[in-house]
Amino acid sequence: MYDADHEARGWRFYIQDMIEFSQKVLSYTDGLDQDAFITDGLTYDATLRNLELIGEAATHIPSEVREAHPQIQWRSIIGTRNRVAHGYLGIDDDVIWDIIQTDIPNLLPALRNLLDTTSEDSK
């Protein structure tokens, strides 16, 4: 039997994961400049892994939800995951740093808002 409420809760867990992974990215890189980030292998690898996980979680968000929330750059998030996971043409450290400094801080409030909005809608 189809349970729409269960399905909605399911994708919201992926949004929660995206928030958690984004917070880790910011935590790991807090206080670092780009050079320090690049030369700290453990931080670099852990950050890339969490960027990959953000994108993987995004792939589990239903297309209806993605379409209803175009302020979140779903395609870019998933594309970043693919480039990091598969190493397409290498990884551009400048792009990664820009994602850390700009995209993730902008993504977090959008994800929280989506989670809050959908939680309210399901009541």
Angle at 54 (CA atoms; ends 119, 93), nearest 5 degrees: 145
Active site residue 9: no
Active site residue 81: yes
Of 60, 66, 83, 86, which one is the catalytic site residue? 86
Question: Which residue from 51, 32, 53, 57 is spatially nearest to 92, judged by alpha carbons?
Answer: 51
Of 9, 66, 81, 83, which one is the catalytic site residue? 81
Distance from the first to the final alpha carbon of the chain: 21
Q: Which residues are catalytic?
A: 81, 86
